[in-house]
Amino acid sequence: MAPVSIKRVLISESVDPCCKTILQENGIDVTERQNMNQEELIVQIKDYDGLVVRSATKVTADIIYAASNLKIIGRAGTGVDNVDVDVATKKGIIVMNTPNGNTISAAELTCALVINLSRHVPQAVMSMKAENWDRKKFMGAELYGKTLGIIGLGRIGKEVASRMQSFAMRTIGYDPITPPEVSASWGVEQMSLEELWPQCDYITVHTPLMPSTTGLLNDASFAKCKRGVKVVNCARGGIIDEAALLRALESGQCGGAGLDVFVEEPPKDWTLIKHPNVISCPHLGASTREAQARCGQDIALQIVDMVKGKALVGAVNAQVLACTFSPDSQQWIRLGKAMGRVLKACCSSKQPFAHVHITTQGECLKKSAGFLSSAAVVGLLTEGPEIVPNLVNALPLAEETGITIKRSHSDEAKMACMVEVSVNGSIYKAVGSVQAGVPVLLELNGSVFWQPVPLSGNLLFFKATGSPQLLSSVTGILATAGVAMERFSASSAPGDDQWYCVGIPSQLADLSTLKSLVKEALQLAM
């Protein structure tokens, strides 16, 4: 991957000082401005290439559209639901988080809430502070032998399971992604939610907030649980339906809740929090010195590694870039973009495109179809006033404009990339490769070049019927226009018409001067 130029980063929240230090040590200018409202951030963000946030800053569409130079949004923590990832992707902005930074801290707080729910510790503490000695009021229950249902078996869910197994709890779970055999290896039996609800004495949720998880615990699911079930949420507010939870608490269907996160933070309605069987915290899942240092360090190092072209870690919307860090990948990206531009010029009068088919050839390119597809689409798309196509947003932009993308791979011996574009029923095709570190065009619309065409500098392509006088006639027209011919590539094709390519030091001012000699002509500055 080509290094992304990040010169100025804005940190809009309290992040561990090591974040600023690491960025500055690597030549990045850092500004810290906390407690900005949306309007203030909109004014400030246009001056920065990068933005680092935690959870309080809501990076909305308005902020992203105001960020004319922004290339990366870094969330120092797990999850990115405070960032409009769809809009960021459309603008070609990388969004990353630190998925491992607060895993231990969030797992430990979850376990603490489970333990406190079982023994009513916070309520007993408050009673003692009120000078009451009431042992019978706070009768608890052992965790030994109880069943803990874990919804979401990622990093945090796994850590919670291993800790609560130390209390001899039975751990069961649900996760649509983690294979059952994987979770079984660390002691969690997977099952459907319908099977899980009635078995649990305690339920804890560890999923991202998305349409499929919003209100996951609701009136219907509480009704399927054991009476008196206790629930914990240290993930995201909204996974547990707060109104349904309050109803379950008041009816006794839910025996207690440990909440660290809420739909509104801070809450405006404190009714749920004031319920005597609720213990709550002001979103403290990542609030440990260790987690903050880890998140601050991780996000800074991830940005630095990306800037230096070493690796891309924690990106949630730029998976296509994961394979772009090999030494040769940048030249193949250049090839894909260049072939896209050549094909776009070939059919400029016949747009829009309908279909794009990218085929990679050769074992070494087996994992490169993703970024080569994006690169080719970047070359095909037109820059807009607010949207500049890049590898991050190319495929979403193509989909938005109605272009269908197909990718395939062939295990042929030679390494090459073929791009085919369908426009109004016509097919345009380019085949290229990288030779000696240089992107070259091998074939254009059925014409196979005798010598590979280096895709660099100013290139003049024209289609004409071959004749002994063609080269000298074209050379004469170029000389009349004061343009020298630096290199010339001819081709062979099944019919009489072939494509030719001329390397020139500057573009021809008027392509119509070639009209008497050629059937089609186009020129590009690579």
Write out the catalytic residue numbers. 236, 265, 283
> Which is it for the CA torsion 141, 145, 150, 153, positive or negative?
positive
CB 317 within 8 A of CB 90: no
Question: Residue written as tokens 């080719």?
Answer: 376
Write down how long the chain is: 526
What is the distance between the alpha carbons of residues 358 and 373, in angstroms, rounded to a whole number?
A: 6
The amino acid present at 23, given as its one-letter code, is L
443: left (phi over 0), alpha (psi -120 to 50) or beta: beta
CB 388 within 8 A of CB 92: yes
The amino acid present at 177, given as its one-letter code, is I
Strands 447-454 and 229-233, sheet pairing = unpaired
Find, among 313, 308, 237, 323, the residue nearest to 273 by Cα.
Answer: 237
Containing 432, the helix (H) or strand (E) segment is strand 426-435
The amino acid present at 53, given as its one-letter code, is V
Q: Rg of the Cα trace of the chain?
A: 30
What is the distance between the alpha carbons of residues 381 and 134, in angstroms, rounded to a whole number?
A: 72
- Sequence-distant (6+) residues with CB within 8 A of 351 are 344, 423
CB 75 within 8 A of CB 101: no
Instruction: Spell out a b/e string for 214-227, using b for 16 or more CB atoms within 10 Å of the CB, else e.
Output: ebbbbeebbeebbe
Tell me the β-bridge partners of 266: none
> Which is it for the CA torsion 60, 63, 69, 72, positive or negative?
negative
What is the distance between the alpha carbons of residues 333 and 223, in angstroms, rounded to a whole number?
A: 55
Question: Residue written as tokens 């003692």?
Answer: 128
Alpha carbon separation from 505 to 455, 456, 460, 483, 512 (Å, rounded): 14, 11, 10, 7, 19
- Sequence-distant (6+) residues with CB within 8 A of 23 are 9, 30, 300, 303, 304
What is the distance between the alpha carbons of residues 473 and 466, in angstroms, rounded to a whole number?
A: 12
Question: Residue written as tokens 């004014």?
Answer: 43
Instruction: Spell out a b/e string for 337-355, using b for 16 or more CB atoms within 10 Å of the CB, else e.
Output: bbbbbbbbbbbeeeeebee
Residue 510: how many other CB atoms lie within 10 Å: 9
